[in-house]
Amino acid sequence: MSAITAFITRHYPALGIAVFRRYWFASLASVGGTQLATLGQGWLIWELTESELYLGYLGAAAALPNVAITLFGGVFADRFNRRLIILVASGATAVLLATLTVLDYLGAVTVVHILMIAALTSVITGFEWPARVSFYPELVTRNAFTSAVALNSFVWQVTRMAIPAVGGLVIAFVDTYAVFAIGSIGFAIMFLVVARIETKQVQLSTERSPLGQLLEGVTFVWREPLFLGLLVITFAGMFFVMSYVQLMPSFAILLGTDETGFGFLLSAGGVGSVSGTLIVGALGPLSRDGRVVLVTAALSALLVFAFAVAASAGFFWLAIALTFAAAVIASVFMIGSMTTMQLRVPDELRGRVMGIHTIGYSLIPAGGLFLGAIAESASTTMAMAIGASCYILAIIGFGVLNRQVRSMAARSEPLVA
pLDDT in tens, 274-292: 787 767 755 656 666 778 8
- For range 16-20, the mean pLDDT: 80
- For range 31-47, the mean pLDDT: 89
pLDDT in tens, 180-218: 999 999 999 999 999 988 766 555 555 566 677 778 778
Rounded to whole angstroms, the Cα distance separating 387 from 264 reads 23
Q: Domain spanning 15-195+207-406 has what CATH number? A: 1.20.1250.20
Q: Are 344 and 417 in contact (CB under 8 A)?
A: no
The domains of the chain are located at 15-195+207-406
pLDDT in tens, 139-178: 877 666 666 766 777 777 777 667 777 888 888 888 889 9
Model confidence at 416, pLDDT cuts 50, 70, 90, reads very low
pLDDT in tens, 325-382: 998 898 888 877 877 887 777 777 777 787 788 777 778 877 888 888 898 888 888 9
Instruction: Judge whether residue 21 has pLDDT over 90.
Output: no
Mean per-residue pLDDT over the chain, rounded: 82
* pLDDT given at position 168: 80
pTM score of the predicted model: 0.72
Instruction: Judge whether residue 415 has pLDDT over 70.
Output: no
pLDDT in tens, 170-183: 888 888 899 999 99
